[in-house]
Chains A and B, each alone.
Chain A
Amino acid sequence: MKRRKFIHQSLLTAGGVALGASKLHAFSPQEIIFGFGSKRYRLNEQWSKADVSRNPVNDCHEMVQDKKGRILLLTNETRNNVLIYDKSGKLLDSWGHDFPGAHGLTLFNEGGDDVLFICDNKRHQVIKTTIDGRVLMTLDYPKETGQYTTPDEYIPTETAIAANGDIFVVDGYGKDFVIQYDSKGNYILHFGGRGEEEKHLRNAHGICIDQRKGKPELIVTSREQNAFKRYSMQGEFIGTIAMPGAWVCRPVIKGDFLYAAVLQSNNRLWQQSGFVTILNKDHQVISNLAGSEPQYQNGVLQEMYQTIKAFSYPHDVCIDDDECMYLAQWNSGKVYPYKLEPVA
Chain B
Amino acid sequence: MQLKLLACSLLFMVQSIVAQKVYQLAPPIPKYASVFFQKEIALSFDFKLPGSSIHYTTDGTEPIGSSAVYTKPLSIKKHLTVVKAKSFATGFSPSETVSLQFFAQGYRIASIATSAPNNQYKGNGPTTLTDNQSGGMQHTNPAWLGFDSDSIVVDLSLEKTVSISQVMLHVLVNQGGWIFLPQQAEVYAVKNNMNTLLLTQPFNAADETPSDTKALLLNFSPTTLQQLRIVIHPLASLPDWHAGKGKRAWCFLDEIKIY
Q: Contact: A17 with B51, CB < 8 Å?
A: yes
Q: Contact: B23 with A29, CB < 8 Å?
A: no
* B29 CB-CB contact with A under 8 Å: yes
**B contact residues around A30 at 8 Å (CB):** 20, 90-91
* B21 CB-CB contact with A under 8 Å: yes
* B196 CB-CB contact with A under 8 Å: no
Q: Contact: B49 with A15, CB < 8 Å?
A: yes
Q: Give 5 CB contacts A-B under 8 Å.
A: A11-B51, A31-B20, A32-B91, A273-B26, A309-B24
**B contact residues around A265 at 8 Å (CB):** 26
Contacts A45-B21, A273-B26, A307-B47: A29 and B13 contacting too (C-beta < 8 A)? yes
Task: Name the one of A16, A22, A267, A310 contacting B50, with C-beta atoms under 8 angstroms.
Answer: A16
* B: number of interface residues (CB 8 Å): 24
In B1-17, which residues have CB < 8 Å from any A CB? 9, 13, 16-17
Among residues of A, the one whose C-beta sits closest to the C-beta of B138 is A269
Bound complex: CA A246 to CA B154 (Å): 39
* A343 CB-CB contact with B under 8 Å: no
Q: How far is the CB of B174 from chain A (nearest CB, A)?
A: 11
Q: How far is the CB of A85 from chain B (nearest CB, A)?
A: 21
Q: How far is the CB of A32 from chain B (nearest CB, A)?
A: 6
**A contact residues around B29 at 8 Å (CB):** 267, 303, 305
Task: Name the one of A11, A14, A309 contacting B23, with C-beta atoms under 8 angstroms.
Answer: A309
User: In terms of DSSP, what is the predominant structure of the interface of chain A?
Assistant: loop
Q: Contact: A16 with B91, CB < 8 Å?
A: yes
Bound complex: CA A268 to CA B29 (Å): 9
List 18 other contacts, CB 8 Å, given A28-B16, A309-B26.
Answer: A14-B50, A15-B50, A16-B49, A17-B89, A24-B9, A24-B13, A29-B20, A30-B90, A32-B92, A268-B27, A292-B47, A295-B48, A306-B26, A307-B47, A307-B49, A308-B92, A309-B24, A309-B25
* A293 CB-CB contact with B under 8 Å: yes
Bound complex: CA A308 to CA B91 (Å): 11
Contacts A24-B9, A307-B47, A309-B25: A16 and B52 contacting too (C-beta < 8 A)? yes
Bound complex: CA A17 to CA B23 (Å): 11
**B contact residues around A292 at 8 Å (CB):** 46-49
**B contact residues around A24 at 8 Å (CB):** 9, 13
Contacts A27-B13, A29-B17, A305-B26: A16 and B48 contacting too (C-beta < 8 A)? no
Bound complex: CA A273 to CA B87 (Å): 15
Q: Contact: A14 with B48, CB < 8 Å?
A: no
Q: How far is the CB of B217 from chain A (nearest CB, A)?
A: 28
Q: Contact: B49 with A293, CB < 8 Å?
A: yes
**A contact residues around B16 at 8 Å (CB):** 28-29, 31
Interface string of A287-302 (1 = CB under 8 A from B): 0000011010000001
**B contact residues around A267 at 8 Å (CB):** 29
Task: Name the one of B9, B13, B26, B48 contacting A293, with C-beta atoms under 8 angstroms.
Answer: B48
Task: Name the one of B13, B17, B20, B51 contacting A14, with C-beta atoms under 8 angstroms.
Answer: B51
Q: Contact: A17 with B90, CB < 8 Å?
A: yes
Q: How far is the CB of B2 from chain A (nearest CB, A)?
A: 13
